[in-house]
């Protein structure tokens, strides 16, 4: 059995107080193995994006623990957690968040610049080649199609070789063809770069191509199913 990379214990997240109180996450316990591809599905308001944001250290839980590679995210001060997050967690969001004044290459290297490090040029070239955007490295975001911009966003998320890749409805702004291509990119990154992937999606067709599907309802896990998808 592979190492456990994510371990969650007794996770709770509550918004508001008294009559306005909303329990977004209720008593979740969860472990995710290294190099596992896990999809998280559920209706709008089920808590799936909140759960992903907490796992990524973007949002603090009301109570409970989140450990990434044995480190408790919320035992750290905000600055230390930001540094840890940048080194260990990559993000792919529904909105590409590319910097229009930067080239494709510069956008991909942005996490390295923020970390005051020289980019690993050989690795970044490999990522660009695998994702089919190497020839676009000198272009700007406004010169790219939506699918190409999403590829750049995936490459940027991979650029610091994170242990885990989090994707929140990454195909939400793409048409069916580009959405399917994005899933292929996620599978490609798992295969070539040994990624652990957590994917939030409302699309059951996409979810069923992962190795494991977790269904949330009212902030609780109501099913956790191993699927046929596997790393080849």
pLDDT digits (tens, 9 = 90+) for 6-56: 999 999 999 988 888 899 999 999 999 999 999 999 988 899 999 999 999
Tell me what pLDDT residue 106 has. Answer: 95
CB proximity list for 31: less than 8 A, separation 6 or greater: 4, 6, 7, 8
Instruction: Domain count for the chain, please give it.
Output: 1
Per-residue H/E/C for 135-173: HHCCCEHHHCCHHHHHHHHHHHHHCCCCCEEEEECCCCC
pLDDT band, residue 137 (cuts 50/70/90): very high
Give a yes or no: residue 143 inside a domain. Answer: yes
Residue corresponding to tokens 């070789």: 161
- Measured between its terminal Cα atoms, the distance across the chain in Å is 16
Angstrom distance (rounded) from CA 110 to CA 196: 22
Instruction: List the CATH number of the domain containing 111.
Output: 3.40.50.300
Q: What is the pLDDT of residues 155-175, one digit of tens each?
A: 898 888 888 999 888 766 556
The distance between the two most distant Cα atoms of the chain, rounded to a whole number of Å, is 56
Determine, yes or no, domain membership for 26: no
Quote the domain boundaries for residue 94.
Answer: 35-57+77-226
pTM over 0.75: yes
Q: What is the pLDDT of residues 95-132, one digit of tens each?
A: 778 999 999 999 999 988 888 889 899 999 988 988 88
Say how far apart CA 106 and CA 4 lie, in whole Å.
Answer: 33
Residue 92 lies in a domain: yes
Residue 10 inside a domain? The answer is no
| Distances 40 to 12, 50, 78, 103, 116 between C-alpha atoms, Å | 17, 11, 26, 33, 33
Flag whether 159 is in a domain: yes
Could you read off the pLDDT of 194-225 as tens digits, one per residue? 889 999 988 887 888 889 999 999 999 999 99
Q: What pLDDT score does 232 carry?
A: 46
Which comes out higher in pLDDT, residue 71 or 130? 71
Q: Does 28 map to a domain?
A: no
């Amino acid at each position: 059995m592979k190492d456990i990379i994510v371990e969650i214990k007794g996770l709770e997240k509550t918004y508001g107080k008294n009559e306005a109180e909303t329990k977004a996450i209720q008593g979740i316990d969860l472990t995710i193995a290294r190099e596992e591809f896990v999809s998280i599905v559920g209706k709008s308001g089920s808590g799936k994006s909140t759960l992903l944001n907490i796992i990524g250290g973007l949002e603090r839980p009301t109570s409970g623990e989140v450990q990434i590679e044995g480190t408790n995210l919320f035992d750290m001060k905000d600055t230390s957690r930001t540094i840890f997050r940048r080194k260990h967690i990559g993000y792919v969001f529904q909105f590409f968040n590319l910097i229009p004044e930067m080239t494709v290459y510069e956008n991909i290297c942005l996490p390295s610049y923020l970390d005051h490090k020289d980019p690993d040029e050989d690795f970044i070239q490999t990522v660009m080649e695998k994702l089919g955007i190497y020839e676009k490295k000198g272009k700007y975001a406004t010169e790219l199609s939506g699918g190409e911009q999403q590829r750049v966003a995936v490459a940027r998320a991979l650029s610091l070789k994170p242990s885990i890749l989090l994707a929140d409805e990454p195909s939400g702004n793409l048409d069916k063809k580009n959405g399917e291509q994005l899933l292929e990119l996620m599978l490609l990154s798992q295969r070539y770069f040994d990624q652990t992937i957590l994917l939030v999606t409302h699309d059951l067709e996409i979810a069923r191509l992962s190795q494991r599907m977790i269904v949330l309802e009212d902030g609780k896990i109501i099913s956790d199913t191993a699927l046929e998808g596997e790393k080849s």
